[in-house]
Structure 1
């Protein structure tokens, strides 16, 4: 039985195990959308319509980050494709596998100045790992299979397929590609394992810097096994959040990102051997944490590192991270740091933990960030997924909120893209439906993607949306004040987000004191469907982010 291109593409998605397609309809892709909507095959991906193509791409990237398998977004031609750019470049920067499908005008119109004709492939080439335009319907399935493989290969990221309308209409004579077999890497060889072990044994203060590619289940388990054999400090990047489990909390020495004034920065500088595991410079450049260090660096990753004047590892190992760490653990005897070093680290950690204390504020200026973090920490469990948007709130969350499972606390720290939290929460609620998902945003970032509240309501997703509301783009504001003594261009007015939520059919709550935040969270976790909690936040302590922990702080 012959098929057309749209039918072959849908079957290709089925073959590769795609569960969802997010996007917006349009004339160039309506045949594909019709098939997805009315297919009788239970394996057909569920079509989920969003309110903006950028948000659809964010949801797809959330699927990619949570599962390690590509999320799929599909849009029509012209602006439908161009609206994908921010979502795809964020996914590519931050290592999240995505396949984007963009409608295109018929092939004989691509070079003409016709309705919605844009150079889609060329436009998105800079935002993706690979961008192609299909010229023959018989190539659709192999193009999709290659896009899938490219998206998940290290470093994971986005791929784009431009689909001329007449290609989707054409007859397909070739069979669809079968499920793609993941490309496997091997462990580092015995000689390299020996070099790693020798350096580790000789170091006085070895430290693991756990980066974005340390957050897979296999790599995290291998790190845990190593720490049970040799207890050493671990510093997480924002995307490495959750690598340290609750039973290994004694080895947790904070996260690094943005401003160089955290305990993680201090211990990295002091370390005579940093083992960078799955570290990507887009998370936190070497010029910020590797300043005036004299210690060595081992770079263990599935990809080759980017070499710069600020980052020149002494030993580079490109191999399967989990297999290599497992081999390293098996080659080591049980070891321990010196008693003096353990005492020193304990003192550093006690000071670090003391910074989580909630200050007493009763002057009506809003709820202190640490009070919000504490209330949320008390409400969630280790399996709760928390997505965090970009803004001042994400600095507080990254520094003070604990997470004990990888890919359960999500940040955008490569592109620092506003608007990701709610779309990522939608992805998490779809993939992890057994309990509530928490989305944390500022008022400015929330409004970037807040129209997807309707999507969450329509899908009846149990999402708790916290909005730290101060009427400003505060992350910019406090830095301007630190630099110039004044701010500019940051006032965005005030919105009653509880009423806003109710207009979408969600539950809306106000919480103006720490006690009310706690009560609102309890109510939200007991409520079916999305709940939005509007919290006036007191950001007066943000100026402390510009303070110096290290003398050579770079702001």
Structure 2
């Protein structure tokens, strides 16, 4: 068959449901092959959005999302999405077109070395130079994208190769099982945990997998060890449970950091160096048990004494079977810190001043969203507020990016989440800065007839950088901008636009948008003037007293 048909057959064998794409001239054979396929083509308005959607699909399902672009400028537009997937451990396969490689007659028009460009951003990048190579290269791209640690892979598919014919068969995915930790390592870790007086469980990005989350919940339920999560570990355990202390939304100085300081042993599950470190090791400090798919990357502030390397869920199961709650464990300090943090979180939630205070907004969003509702956060000041103040009840119910931490991903991520979970409420939360980087995808959401709500938090500035600017005692400069009429802007795409004029209007309006269905954008002015006081000076002062 034609190589482009063989490529699509290989995608089908991998279980690909969607190809998110902006096709170009060099993709036309592949486009024609997709036309008769059960793989659905979703055309976006920017390649970056196609990549964000593919990465989020991979994040939610564990199976590689697929995105497609043309050569040159289309491929370069995938670079940010490649880094987003690679740093965020989201399985994604990128496919880019290319001019004919065997008989090119167009010189260097639009041609750059895409494979070389993708090398530092991916786990695997390759030009397909023969139709006979299609099955093996597609299989390898998917295998590596999904293998721990997941990430991005890339295939360049030149148009003359797409037209070749091949008799090679499609390669079906192989059955694999991840290696499990050695029994001696399990025993050593169990003995250290049992001997500790104030053990603390820290859940990182690498633990945010379905099977891992189930076993972590059983581990915590049996042993009652106080638990903290990083931003990308959020929701792995139910944050309304009695053993959850809080989320490391801030780099340091928060209540949760006091719990870390008081622990004499930290069980660090799914540690990922892409996240800001939630704690720093020091000689003579707390002992650290590293539980992960891979061994620890040692640096001056992270040098765990015990490493349990293998499938995380299996390691936790083995530890759970060996361990029992210990009489000498002391969790009173951790529980006191938890109670103080919860009191601080709800402080000010009843404030009806306008523009809205972020802590009030977060609470009202939580009131409207069901337990299985999904938030897809772009990057901005509000991300800290939601990471810290919004209780998550299940894995990947709060999609935030604390790896690349790019702006512009919120709306495309929400759209992908709605494709994966059409029956769940999905809320995109974007600042006005990040939203305008991919706002054109409103048309895509409307075309897909999605039921989706976009919460646009407007402060007419790059608010997080303004907060940092103030913290560092610089003059306020260079971070303000103007905005369009967002209600009219949404309506111009065929979506519904709304503007909040008082705090009391917000919660009923949000519920109305979900109930009515369709694509809704809500413009909400937000007051970030208390950021420095609450998230810096006040927290540090209160935490010091614990």
Hey, what does 2:12 align to over in structure 1?
14
Counterpart pick for 2:507 among 497, 506, 518? 518
Q: Are residues 1:80 and 2:70 paired?
A: no
**Aligned 8 A contact 2:2 2:164 in 1:** yes
Counterpart pick for 2:313 among 308, 313, 322? 322
Hey, what does 2:168 align to over in structure 1?
174
Hey, what does 1:306 align to over in structure 2?
297
Hey, what does 1:152 align to over in structure 2?
146
Q: Are residues 1:294 and 2:285 paired?
A: yes
Deviations 1:195-248 (CA, angstroms, capped at 9, x unpaired): 1111111111111110112111111111111112210111111111101226x6
Counterpart pick for 1:267 among 250, 259, 270? 259
Deviation at 1:105, TM superposition (A): 1.2
Q: Are residues 1:223 and 2:216 paired?
A: yes
Larger mean CA deviation between 369-378 and 104-113 belongs to 104-113
Cα separation, 2, equivalents of 1:484 and 1:97: 41
Q: How does 1:279-428 map to 2 (within 5 A)?
A: 279-285=271-277, 289-290=280-281, 294-335=285-326, 338=329, 341-359=330-348, 361=351, 364=354, 366-428=355-417
Hey, what does 1:547 align to over in structure 2?
537
Deviations 1:11-56 (CA, angstroms, capped at 9, x unpaired): 00001100000010111001111221x31x5xx2100000000110
Q: Helix, strand or coil: the match of 1:167? A: helix
Cα separation, 1, equivalents of 2:337 and 2:470: 30
Deviation at 1:285, TM superposition (A): 2.6
Cα separation, 2, equivalents of 1:223 and 1:59: 28
Q: Are residues 1:501 and 2:494 paired?
A: no
Q: Helix, strand or coil: the match of 1:433? A: coil
Cα separation, 2, equivalents of 1:156 and 1:400: 29
Q: Helix, strand or coil: the match of 2:506? A: helix
Q: Name stretches of at least 5 consecutive residues in structure 1 with no aligned partner.
A: none
Q: Helix, strand or coil: the match of 2:429? A: strand
**Aligned 8 A contact 2:308 2:315 in 1:** no
The TM-score, its normalising length taken from structure 2, stands at: 0.95
Residue 119 and residue 192 in structure 1: after superposition, are their counterparts in 2 closer, same or farther (change >3 A)? same
Q: Are residues 1:252 and 2:244 paired?
A: yes
Cα separation, 2, equivalents of 1:332 and 1:284: 30
Q: Helix, strand or coil: the match of 2:125? A: strand
Cα separation, 2, equivalents of 1:204 and 1:145: 49
Residue 128 and residue 210 in structure 1: after superposition, are their counterparts in 2 closer, same or farther (change >3 A)? same
Q: Are residues 1:276 and 2:268 paired?
A: yes
Q: Are residues 1:205 and 2:195 paired?
A: no
Larger mean CA deviation between 105-114 and 387-396 belongs to 105-114
Q: Helix, strand or coil: the match of 1:175? A: coil
Deviation at 1:358, TM superposition (A): 4.9
Hey, what does 1:184 align to over in structure 2?
177
Q: Helix, strand or coil: the match of 2:346? A: coil
Q: Helix, strand or coil: the match of 1:284? A: coil
Hey, what does 1:527 align to over in structure 2?
516
Q: How does 1:136-147 map to 2 (within 5 A)?
A: 136-147=130-141
Q: Are residues 1:234 and 2:227 paired?
A: yes
Counterpart pick for 2:52 among 58, 83, 106? 58
**Aligned 8 A contact 2:203 2:233 in 1:** yes
Cα separation, 2, equivalents of 1:352 and 1:111: 66
Residue 95 and residue 57 in structure 1: after superposition, are their counterparts in 2 closer, same or farther (change >3 A)? same
Deviations 1:325-362 (CA, angstroms, capped at 9, x unpaired): 10110111344564xx3332332111100122252555
**Aligned 8 A contact 1:219 1:322 in 2:** yes
Cα separation, 2, equivalents of 1:487 and 1:4: 60
Hey, what does 1:23 align to over in structure 2?
21
Cα separation, 1, equivalents of 2:51 and 2:405: 15
**Aligned 8 A contact 1:435 1:462 in 2:** no
Q: Helix, strand or coil: the match of 1:508? A: strand
Cα separation, 2, equivalents of 1:86 and 1:111: 31
Deviation at 1:292, TM superposition (A): 7.2
Q: Helix, strand or coil: the match of 1:539? A: coil
Deviation at 1:80, TM superposition (A): 0.7
Residue 238 and residue 418 in structure 1: after superposition, are their counterparts in 2 closer, same or farther (change >3 A)? same
Cα separation, 2, equivalents of 1:284 and 1:232: 23
**Aligned 8 A contact 1:104 1:162 in 2:** yes
The TM-score, its normalising length taken from structure 1, stands at: 0.94
Hey, what does 1:469 align to over in structure 2?
458
Cα separation, 2, equivalents of 1:351 and 1:322: 32
**Aligned 8 A contact 2:58 2:90 in 1:** yes
**Aligned 8 A contact 1:231 1:336 in 2:** no
Larger mean CA deviation between 478-487 and 19-28 belongs to 478-487
Larger mean CA deviation between 496-505 and 11-20 belongs to 496-505
* Count of residue correspondences: 541
